[in-house]
């Protein structure tokens, strides 16, 4: 066999050596002599830290303060600020472009009316009505029909407020006419009137009555005469932190959040 010229043999050897070194160099260092950490794939994503503003129905005031603290503890760097009001007021704020990231209302009707402003809503809890009376129930109110007594000072929420709408529904179904001494902008205002003795009774959610056990008594309304309130939660399309907002809304349906809601007297969705 004829021998290769010396120069050609040298060229072939150098080419083979370079080919063998390329993969070793790519796997071994970053060019500075330090080992490169292998890229991890498929790792669970963590929502980015953010300052979130959540518009929430007034009846969520106490439980969301607890839930917010729990969320912040599990999501370092995230701060959740709540703005509580009647659902109809929250809807007006959304339509006016108030800066916020998520919305939780006390009824699906209000949320559905904001379809162009929100993401897909998810019901996170349910509630029911009770009759709240001044402590000790001095007028011996037993059921809904007792509220028709004109000697009683009964306070209700305005009909455009979810709890006011539910109240009207249950009273109309039983053909009970109540002459309210006032119509309040949210359920907490109704509760406050009863707590302060400015009203003898009012219709509120059972969770609101439970928040003031030393100030009001709660009279149960039978299921057949009651109404169930649903609480949908959704992100707002104007949110400046869409990923963090979506993470918070999703968290409200987790076992940890549901436990907090249940302990406050809310029903499971």
Tens of pLDDT along 183-192?
A: 999 999 999 9
Which pTM value belongs to this model?
Answer: 0.81
Residues 68 and 160 occupy one common structural domain: no
Tokens of 22: 């390329």
- Same domain membership, residue 195 and residue 117: no
Q: Which domain holds residue 67?
A: 51-126+229-263
The dihedral sign for the CA sequence 170, 103, 265, 219: negative
Instruction: Provide the CATH number for the domain around residue 212.
Output: 3.40.190.10
- Does any domain span residue 15? no
CA distances from 47 to 75, 101, 105, 247 (A): 8, 14, 24, 6
How many helices (H) and strands (E) in the chain? 9, 9
Please indicate, yes or no, whether residues 140 and 224 belong to a single structural domain of this protein. yes
Asked if residue 18 belongs to a domain, the reply is no
User: Is there a domain that residue 10 lies in?
Assistant: no
The packing angle between helices 255-263 and 61-74, to 10°, is 150
Q: What angle do CA 164, 90, 167 make, to 5 degrees?
A: 10
Closest CA to 149 of 128, 133, 173, 161: 133
Range 28-47 average pLDDT: 44
Q: Check residue 256 and report its DSSP letter.
A: H
Whether residue 13 lies inside any domain: the answer is no
Predicted confidence band at 8 (pLDDT cuts at 50, 70, 90)? Answer: very low
> pLDDT-derived band of residue 19, with 50, 70 and 90 as boundaries?
very low
| pLDDT tens-digit map of 51-76 | 999 999 999 999 999 999 999 999 99
- 207 and 247 fall within a common domain: no
Domain co-membership, 57 together with 104: yes
| 116 and 233 housed in the same domain | yes
- Domain count within the chain: 2
Instruction: Note whether 222 and 245 are same-domain residues.
Output: no
- The confidence band for 45, taking pLDDT boundaries of 50, 70 and 90, is low
Q: Percentage of residues in the chain with pLDDT exceeding 90?
A: 82
């Amino acid at each position: 066999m004829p021998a290769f010229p010396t120069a050609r043999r040298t060229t072939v050897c150098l080419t083979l050596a370079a080919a063998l070194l390329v993969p070793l160099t790519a796997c071994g260092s970053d060019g500075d002599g330090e080992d490169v950490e292998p890229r991890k794939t498929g790792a669970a994503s963590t929502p980015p830290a953010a300052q979130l503003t959540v518009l929430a129905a007034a009846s969520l005031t106490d439980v969301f303060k607890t839930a917010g603290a729990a969320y912040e503890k599990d999501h370092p760097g995230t701060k959740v600020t709540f703005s509580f009001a009647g659902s109809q007021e929250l809807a007006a704020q959304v339509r006016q472009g108030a800066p916020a990231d998520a919305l939780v209302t006390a009824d699906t009707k209000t949320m559905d009316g904001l379809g162009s402003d929100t993401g897909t809503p998810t019901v996170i809890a349910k509630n029911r009505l009770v009759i709240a009376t001044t402590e000790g129930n001095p007028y011996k109110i037993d059921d809904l029909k007792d509220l028709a007594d004109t000697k009683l000072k009964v306070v209700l929420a305005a009909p455009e407020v979810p709890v006011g709408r539910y109240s009207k529904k249950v009273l109309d179904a039983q053909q009970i006419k109540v002459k309210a001494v006032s119509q309040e902008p949210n359920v907490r205002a109704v509760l406050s009137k009863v707590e302060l003795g400015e009203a003898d009774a009012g219709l509120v959610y059972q969770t609101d009555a439970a928040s003031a056990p030393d100030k009001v008594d709660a009279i149960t309304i039978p299921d057949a005469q009651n109404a169930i309130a649903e609480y949908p939660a959704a992100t707002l399309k104007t949110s400046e932190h869409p990923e963090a907002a979506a993470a918070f809304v999703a968290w409200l349906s987790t076992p940890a959040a549901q436990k907090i809601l249940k302990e406050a007297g809310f029903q499971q969705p």
